[in-house]
Amino acid sequence: MNRIMLESEFFPILVILFLGVALWLLHIGVQNHYLLSLDQKAAEWFHSIRNHRLDDFFSTVTWMGSLWILLPLYIAIILVFQHDNTSLEKSLGIAFFGTIVTTYALKYMLNRPRPHLYAMIEEVPLDPSFPSAHSAQIAAFSLGILLAVHHNAGLLTVMTIVLGSVCLLVFMSRMYLQVHFLTDVLSGILVALIWGVISYSIVRKGGI
């Protein structure tokens, strides 16, 4: 894929359309139970590795995808870097809040019940299951930060490893705790990716 195509104003639109279609197909697969076997096998595997240490570990690490953690962290980052890095405020804000609104809109539009194959390790969340908000939120938060530092190759590499590891652990925690299906987590990631591309496109053009 050449540089001209990557810099084309139409390329982000194509990526957003591709991700949007992938999200729609995922929903169709869930709605018609085509992916039920996949969800069941993932839930069964996470249940099979359960032990008290992992219960405690994933019950703790899952909070990194919660708005109770991410919103104060967002405010702190913006206050600290507001005069030094305006692209951070824009890229993070667009990706993060766009993802939050979209995720909760989809949750209540699609209204998928929570998993009930195995006992949940924590209290049953009150909101619907699809997409996973924790997964979407930590992915969007991480993407927003990575977009802001992408000109610094060294920092980008370090932040990608750190944030990528945190994201992976949060994704796994939602399934380990039996509060989400695999497809819920995948859909949350897709929502975050869509808003990551939107954020990149807007900030690159100097919008907002």
28 pLDDT higher than 70:
yes
- From first CA to last CA, the distance across the chain in angstroms is 29
Q: For a pLDDT cut of 90, what percent of the chain falls above it?
A: 72
pLDDT tens profile 193-208: 999 999 998 887 765 5
Q: Which among 69, 94, 90 is positioned nearest to 81, based on CA atoms?
A: 90
Q: For the residues 9-29, what does the mean pLDDT come to? A: 93
* pLDDT bracket for residue 177 (50, 70, 90): very high
CA dihedral 32, 33, 38, 41 (to 10 degrees): 170
The reported pLDDT for the residue numbered 208 is: 57
- Helix (H/G/I), strand (E/B), else coil: 88: helix
4 pLDDT higher than 80:
no
Residues 163-198 as b or e (16 or more Cβ within 10 Å = b): beebbebbbbbbbbbbbbbbbbbbbbbbbbbbbbbb
Domains and CATH numbers, the chain: 3-204 (1.20.144)
* pLDDT bracket for residue 39 (50, 70, 90): very high
The reported pLDDT for the residue numbered 174 is: 97
* pLDDT bracket for residue 161 (50, 70, 90): very high
The reported pLDDT for the residue numbered 124 is: 79
Q: Highest-confidence range of 9-18, 28-37, 146-155, by mean pLDDT?
A: 28-37
5 pLDDT higher than 70:
no
Q: For the residues 183-200, what does the mean pLDDT come to? A: 96
Q: Which two tokens stand for residue 32?
A: 């018609």
The reported pLDDT for the residue numbered 138 is: 98
pLDDT tens profile 57-89: 999 999 999 999 999 999 998 888 776 656 777
pLDDT tens profile 86-143: 677 788 999 999 999 999 999 999 999 999 888 888 777 889 999 999 999 999 999 9
Question: How far is Cα 73 from Cα 91, in angstroms, rounded to an integer?
Answer: 15
The reported pLDDT for the residue numbered 57 is: 97
The reported pLDDT for the residue numbered 32 is: 95
Q: For the residues 46-55, what does the mean pLDDT come to? A: 95
